[in-house]
Structure 1
Amino acid sequence: MAEDLVIIGAGGFGRETLDVVEAVNAAAPQPVWNVVGVVDDAPSATNLQRLEARRTPHVGTVADLLAGGRRPSYVVGIGSPVVRRTLAERLDAGGLVAATLVHPAASLGSRVDVGPGSVICAGARVTTNVTLGRHVHLNPNVTVGHDTTLGSFVSVNPAASISGDCTIEDGVLVGVGAVVLNQLTVGPGAVVGGAACVVKDVPAHAVVKGVPAR
């Protein structure tokens, strides 16, 4: 029997997460997830129209979800690591359990550990001996190399590449098309700008951009 699931966030990544759910269900002998709907405290009119077009209901706010009697599994489909952490902690405290979603068109190698709440999109390639923490987002066509650890609430945006033996600490955002070279550490809460090339360790909460990233 399919397990009830809500997606938190009606924006772009929330709807991409719905695509992942649909692909998982389509690839399974029988549906794995029953999408109850999307929860969003302040969805835009455009995003509500986009949900309606795909026949996915907006089922209220986070407060509504927590006040209700149902306790479906959840995934936070919001790109901001800070917002994602805040919502996940609130939902966990309310007794909900985070689901893990891996698109069937993603490639996971041997000895890969994926934490709860994580979403791995189509085209992502995760090689061997990789650890992903809780609520990690790997966007389409991301590469994560061997022996790398991503902490919790990390977002790796489309087409970014994390090389082998790297440590990407909690709450890091890696921008579109960025590259982190081998054996480097990106400190907690740091932001790597789009198309940047990281050639040395990045301090906690720093924002780096450019080639080489500074």
Structure 2
Amino acid sequence: MPELVVVGAGGFGREVLDVVDAIGPDSWQVVGVVDDGPTEKNLELLARRDVAYLGTLESLLAQRDAGSVTASHYVVGIGSPAVRRAVAERLDAAGLQPATLVHPTVTTGFDVTVGPGSVVCAGVRLTTNIRLGRHVHLNLNTTVGHDTVIGDYVSANPLASISGDCVLEDEVLVGVAGVVLNGLTVGRGSVVGGSACVVKDVPPGVVVKGIPAR
């Protein structure tokens, strides 16, 4: 059974542990959690579920070099797309492999591709002919419509609704209950605010909010 390190002791990192638990004990062995600045509360919550805190990212890499941690795979449970990319690139360079975690309640249609390092949480609905890039986070009850392409390091927060024929470029973040209407593109690094409704293409590197989103 492959050994897995989760990066991030915060809320989403612990939700990643829930996804691993739901997948089942025969799929992954969680070695522990890495975090550069965990709160006392987060450490307490990890201890309650009997998951080891392995220290900082630097200490993990040092432990791997020394042979005291032998985990082959990792997943980044950090919400920020830019931070997630930076962490993943360091771990890739160190020789770890990104794990792909899909909760068993997720439904998928025909020809759906989920990229390495991605986390797809409970209740997500993926219809047909969909592409998810590397290290994508689809939070609880997100829906993604037909023929949509989602780039690398994209985050969709709970109840986000991405319609058909959309393109979400790299490092996009869609807030809680955010909506992207059919056939639209959200440019790289842009943020769609919580409960916003995108009715026209969004350029790169901007924040849009409201109904309609602007």
Correspondence for 2:52 among 42, 52, 57: 57
- Structure 1: gaps of 5 or more residues: none
User: Residue 143 of structure 1: CA displacement?
Assistant: 0.1
Match of 1:196 in 2: 196
Within-5 A mapping of 1:166-177: 166-177=166-177
> CA–CA distance in 2 between the matches of 1:71 and 1:49?
23
| CA deviation profile, 1:69-114 (whole Å, cap 9, x unmatched) | 3242000000000100000011101111100000001111110000
Q: Give, as a single letter, the amino acid of the residue that structure 2 aligns with 1:33.
A: W
Q: Give, as a single letter, the amino acid of the residue that structure 2 aligns with 1:51.
A: L
Runs of 4+ displaced beyond 6 Å: none
Q: Give, as a single letter, the amino acid of the residue that structure 1 aligns with 2:11.
A: G
Tell which deviates more after alignment, 102-111 or 163-172: 102-111
- Give the fraction of aligned pairs with identical amino acids, expressed as a percent: 65
Match of 2:187 in 1: 187
- Confirm or deny: 8 A CA contact 2:112 2:129 kept in the other structure: yes
User: How many correspondences in the alignment?
Assistant: 209
| CA deviation profile, 1:136-190 (whole Å, cap 9, x unmatched) | 0000000000000000000000001000000000000000001000000000000
Match of 2:12 in 1: 13
- Confirm or deny: 8 A CA contact 2:5 2:71 kept in the other structure: no
Match of 1:212 in 2: 212
Tell which deviates more after alignment, 66-75 or 168-177: 66-75
- Match status 1:178 vs 2:173: no
> CA–CA distance in 2 between the matches of 1:60 and 1:36?
12
Within-5 A mapping of 1:8-157: 8-25=7-24, 31-67=26-62, 68=64, 69=67, 70-157=70-157
- Structure 2: gaps of 5 or more residues: none
Q: TM-score, normalised by structure 2?
A: 0.96
Q: TM-score, normalised by structure 1?
A: 0.96
CA RMSD for the aligned pairs?
Answer: 0.7
